[in-house]
């Protein structure tokens, strides 16, 4: 593809963005770090690092439980972060934003609260063949205990969902359709509206794993039309140890608590307890206070950069990378073309194990992922044990793509000897 020369304003903005991420200044094996493992976790900008530091330096205290100044400051910062995160995804109310450890815990919360209360023999849960293990294993565990049927939408050879079978898979027994918004391996952006429409036609609920979409593109949970949406803070320039479950309020009100303990209760007697209001009913014990505040700082930063800008920048990167990588001898890209995918490319290189490839690239300071990416059924579908993956974010550049491609060509030469 012919890439248009970036404007001076774009060059300046990208330079300013990169300057906000201290880790990008380091070298690995004597080479400047090129970080292309963003689908696993993203790097953290100074405003997030500073928010964490300020909490621990100035007002470290528990939340919701104290009337002293530090506790009130911590509570205000923590709950204000929840409000900003709710606005970031257009949730109707911050009460519908439940803090968890990560997207995996969010899915488990739904499985063990809504699932236990609503699923049983004769019912069906529908997932897809491209799911991350976090949207497979919780349902398998629950299936063994409750006796419902777990079904999946298969994949086409192009790495998209085979919707020709959707009408046969969605039926009156279907109680939940749970699927990934953007595949963490194929990059496929799934047809949310079509899947939600199919679920609604039989009265089924919908859960969307948005771990690979919320960080990269504008996501409006109300526009998605799902009952539950989950995502992780560490994949969107925020800290590890903090995730989000968005849920429709009426469903959250009906669901039993996930964990029992402090702060999730309104009243405790030896004879029984009454649960706290949303969102606290699902947030037992001391929460990840610093991490929640850090995630609030992360969404402020992403808003400042502009989520639309991030999405367009990543699309430029992935288009360019797709074309350049396609020219590497023996390289096979998994998934659909660049216009149908998010900002990542998983691939194999003939004659080179993905782990060996990642090790070779690491010697040039290039960080990619190698393995099954917590998606073994997907790899089984395409007859692979593992793949390599380059995933982009707001701070990556076209020049870094060129260095990746040069590293891949170097690997071809090394293994041809």
How many Cα atoms within 13 Å fall on the side-chain side of residue 347? 28
**Tokens read off for 175:** 């109680």
Q: 46, 150, 202, 374: which is the annotated catalytic residue?
A: 374
* Alpha-helical runs (H) found in 306-397: 307-326, 354-363, 376-381
SS3 content of the chain, % helix, strand, coil (to 5): 45, 20, 35
How many Cα atoms within 13 Å fall on the side-chain side of residue 140? 7
* φ, ψ of residue 136 in degrees (nearest 5): -120, -55
**Tokens read off for 150:** 């777990």
Give residue 314's Cα distance to chain centre.
15
**Tokens read off for 412:** 């071809």
Integer Cα distance of 264 and 267 in angstroms: 9
Contact (Cβ atoms closer than 8 angstroms) between residue 243 and residue 233:
yes
Integer Cα distance of 361 and 357 in angstroms: 6
Active site residue 22: no
Q: Which residues are catalytic?
A: 374
């Amino acid at each position: 593809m012919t890439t248009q020369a970036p404007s001076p304003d774009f060059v300046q903005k990208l330079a300013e963005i990169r300057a906000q991420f201290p880790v990008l200044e380091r070298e690995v094996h004597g080479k400047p770090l090129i970080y292309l493992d963003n689908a696993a976790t993203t790097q953290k900008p100074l405003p997030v690092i500073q928010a964490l530091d300020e909490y621990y330096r100035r007002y470290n205290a528990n939340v919701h439980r104290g009337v002293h100044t530090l506790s009130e400051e911590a509570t205000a910062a923590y709950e204000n972060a929840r409000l900003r995160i709710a606005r970031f995804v257009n949730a109707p109310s911050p009460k519908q934003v439940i803090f968890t450890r990560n997207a995996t815990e969010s899915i488990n919360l739904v499985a063990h609260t809504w699932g236990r209360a609503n699923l049983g023999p004769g019912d069906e849960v529908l997932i897809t063949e491209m799911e991350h293990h976090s949207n497979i294993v919780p349902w398998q565990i629950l299936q063994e205990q409750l006796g419902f049927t777990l079904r999946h939408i298969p994949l086409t050879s192009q790495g998209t969902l085979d919707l020709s079978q959707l009408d046969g898979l969605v039926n009156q027994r279907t109680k939940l359709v749970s699927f990934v918004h953007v595949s963490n391996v194929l990059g496929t952006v799934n047809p949310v509206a079509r899947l939600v429409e199919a679920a609604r036609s039989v009265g089924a609920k919908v859960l969307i794993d948005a771990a690979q979409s919320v960080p990269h593109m504008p996501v409006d949970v109300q526009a998605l039309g799902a009952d539950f949406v989950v995502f992780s803070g560490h994949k969107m320039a925020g800290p590890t140890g903090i995730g989000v479950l968005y849920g429709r309020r009426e469903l959250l009100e009906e669901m039993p608590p996930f964990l029992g303990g402090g702060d999730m209760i309104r009243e405790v007697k030896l004879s029984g307890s009454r649960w706290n209001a949303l969102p606290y009913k699902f947030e037992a014990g001391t929460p990840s206070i610093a991490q929640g505040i850090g995630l609030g700082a992360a969404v402020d930063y992403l808003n400042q950069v502009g989520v639309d800008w991030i999405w367009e920048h990543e699309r430029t990167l992935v288009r360019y990378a797709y074309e350049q990588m396609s020219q590497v001898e023996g390289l096979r890209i998994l998934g659909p073309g660049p216009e149908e995918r998010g900002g990542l490319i998983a691939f194999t290189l003939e004659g080179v194990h993905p782990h060996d490839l990642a090790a070779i690239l690491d010697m040039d300071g290039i960080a990619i992922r190698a393995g099954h990416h917590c998606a073994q059924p997907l790899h089984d579908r395409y007859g692979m044990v593992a793949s390599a993956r380059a995933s982009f974010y707001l701070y990556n550049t076209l020049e870094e793509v060129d260095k990746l491609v040069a590293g891949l060509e170097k690997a071809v030469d090394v293994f041809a000897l």
